[in-house]
Structure 1
């Protein structure tokens, strides 16, 4: 059995940041120390909780350093926008994006530089939680970028809707099936999920590893072999059982993460699978009814408690252009890595960071939802293997298309496993 894991994310442990001058790092010439403008591409839009805090701290950085940060928003297409700009020789100096899919290939393609030495030489090695650094480190030992945001990724439960239907929060898949039936009988859609995008892919893989230990799940995520694994097939069959029992909302195969979130946040669905990045979108009137928990698990499976995901979200990648003005980039990264700045994301946007922040630098009152995620959830769940690090980046989009087919009613387990195996070549 898999034991319950401790959370890797903390907002209270102290981690000092020491400002050091750059020594022994690659990149930059005489112009590096003279740069007064750096450019950054991000998905953080203005008007979102995280996007507004980012702009606020950038304004403070500009006033303090005299360096201008030109911000470009790329939305969901940040990797494509960056790659297109790089092909034209106009890559932004910094990219603010997750370590998934295309970015995993950027070092090999010569689009970004490894930051292994920078982490140490800039005095930041003890600032980020070790698990975050490990997650962003390639198999060859190179650190791809500076991780920044962390996340907990639980199941969100609307307790008011469960009470209305007269059912308890499920901890086993049998209870989940029964709860979905009662919710539907009360006119309530059960489990919202974006079956047509990455959110559905992650939920599918969470269910599919229900009978796999971590080593087996890691191997299948990386190399395929779904049909040949009895335990993987049991997980896929469990998924089809949940799907065909009506656990997921109607037409889940055609929905995306945004519609999933909207269904839950408006009270139209009783459950969803979403990360802590959605905290800032939770309406005040719903907050008291939100309970975080794990995904119900089958008896005889690999986990001894309902499961959740945890890990890192976005961070800062340095392009080859950015390496040419590394002094200015260093000042920005070390500023962002300071506990005082990280605390603003926690306080104002309810965003977990991988930076250790002392308790006395947080606000006087931590959000009850944030407290649930950081204090209560880790004691109640087992952490499933987050697949993003192991599914090859060049097949992720194909896998999302295959898992979207899995959400379509009537798709058999044999068809699902064959489709998944086909993309591994």
Structure 2
């Protein structure tokens, strides 16, 4: 039996009952991934007899979960990614580390090394079970580029500037980006690390001190030059992820920085128009190829309540990681998973997925994803600070000063 509710997070009793579980997820029932998740859980219940109540909390999930913990009503399993507030959950004893279960349940050899690394803290504790992976490239609409006389996606900043001029002359927005939310923040951080080594980027993202870092300032100046050359879409500072995707899929913009989790939303007639690549490089960059991000997204965290029902949790986790279950997410939700996979085995009717797992990794260099290094207490603040960077007239000095103030605070 699958019971669904919206942000109810009613939890289960704390008696150790292993005939029922509660799962808190951001995946709406109407989304492709949410539909597959619920369908798979139906199969799990049919096989095991364990009933699962699925509660949906959207982007407010961390707050909803923490509120439920305070009330003693937390879900047994939380389906979320390892950023922001969840990074404090082990320290606050609201979830349990799972590294021993990863080994005991035979999952370590099946997970990618990157997924294990991303979910393992400096103290060796593993925060949860990584499940969904992603690639985060720049998407290019080849048809719109061609309308502006551009034969290939730009690979250098000079080519990007030239493309932006031609696209605007053709009445096409160059790059849609959610400058007012996390999508803009990620692109901003991607660009400003163009002249940094990976270690230097990690240190800057973790500790601040931006105005006193010449290489980072050079990256911020690169960002402002792209902004002022109108590479980003009009009113980018007010855009969100939703409006960014709408402009790209609506064929109003020729480029966008978006993750592979958007594959399921691509209009069928548009699949052949899309090329995946990296963010074009400036002269003198520390990278050899255009940049993209890669990492993991949602996985399964075990709450203190869930730890009291470990037998049921184990059955749930093992069921989710079965090859046939994983294949369902790949086939029906176009998901990249946090498990080792051979791109040649992916279905031929999903060319974007094959491109993301087979071709993209050899065509790009991967930038440092800031989420693991920006202190969790500052994550929302740096998103707001990045929105300032998209605002016309803000200089590199204004921008670094805003971030340094946040880090000092």
- TM-score tier by shorter-chain length is over 0.9
CA RMSD in angstroms, aligned pairs only: 1.5
Confirm or deny that 1:351 pairs with 2:351.
Answer: no
| 2:290 match | 306
Distance 1:275 1:363, change over 3 A: closer
Contact 2:331 2:347 survives alignment (8 Å): no
1:110 equivalent to 2:130? Answer no
- In the alignment, the residues of structure 2 paired with residue 372 and residue 116 of structure 1 have an alpha-carbon distance, to the nearest angstrom, of 32
1:263-412 aligned within 5 A: 263-357=247-341, 365-412=348-395
Query: Shift of the alpha carbon at 1:364?
Result: 5.1
- The offset of 1:386, in angstroms, is 0.9
Deviations 1:328-358 (A, max 9, x none): 0111011111111111111111101112357
Alpha-carbon separation, structure 2, partners of 1:288 and 1:125: 36
Please name the residue that 1:418 is paired with: 401
| Shift in Å, 1:101 | 0.3
The aligned counterpart of 1:235 is 219
Residue aligned with 1:372, SS: helix
Unmatched 5+ residue regions in structure 1? 1-28
How big is each residue's C-alpha offset from its partner over 1:310-339, in whole Å with a ceiling of 9 and x where there is no partner? 011110000111111111011101111111
Q: Structure 2 matches for 1:234-253, cutoff 5 A?
A: 234-253=218-237
Map of 1:156 onto structure 2: 139
Contact 1:293 1:308 in 2 (8 A): yes
CA distance in 2, matches of 1:100, 1:364: 31
* Stretch moving more, 168-177 or 215-224: 168-177
TM superposition shift of 1:379: 1.1
Partner Cα separation in structure 2 for residue 132 and residue 359 of structure 1: 17
Further displaced range: 368-377 or 241-250: 368-377
1:121 equivalent to 2:104? Answer yes
The one of 182, 205, 213 aligned to 2:189: 205
Structure 1 CA distance, aligned partners of 2:305 and 2:318? 19
Give the TM-score, by structure 1 length: 0.91
What residue is the counterpart of 2:19 in the other structure? 36
What CA distance in whole angstroms lies between the structure 2 residues aligned with 1:304 and 1:317? Answer: 37
Q: Which has the higher contact order (CA 8 A, sep 6+)?
A: 1
Find the aligned partners of 2:100 and 2:138 in 1 and give their Cα distance: 38
Q: Secondary structure at the match of 1:391?
A: coil
Within 5 Å, which residues of 2 pair with 1:172-211?
172-211=156-195
1:22-48 alpha-carbon deviations (Å, 9 max, x no partner):
xxxxxxx9953x421100100111121
The number of residue pairs the alignment matches comes to 395
* Contact preservation (8 Å) 1:154, 1:273: yes
What SS class does the counterpart of residue 72 from structure 1 fall into?
strand
Equivalence map 1:61-100=2 (5 Å): 61-100=44-83
One of 228, 242, 250 as aligned partner of 1:258 = 242
Task: Kindly indicate whether the alpha-carbon contact (under 8 Å) linking 2:119 and 2:128 is maintained by their aligned counterparts in 1.
Answer: yes
Unaligned runs of 5+ in 2: 1-12
Tell me which of 213, 218, 234 is aligned to 2:202.
218
CA distance in 1, matches of 2:166, 2:158: 13
Q: Is contact 1:339–1:356 with CA below 8 Å preserved after alignment?
A: no
* 1:43-92 deviations in Å (ceiling 9; x for gaps): 11112111111011100000011001100010111101101111111110
> Deviation at 1:179?
0.5
Misfit runs of 4+, over 4 Å: 357-360
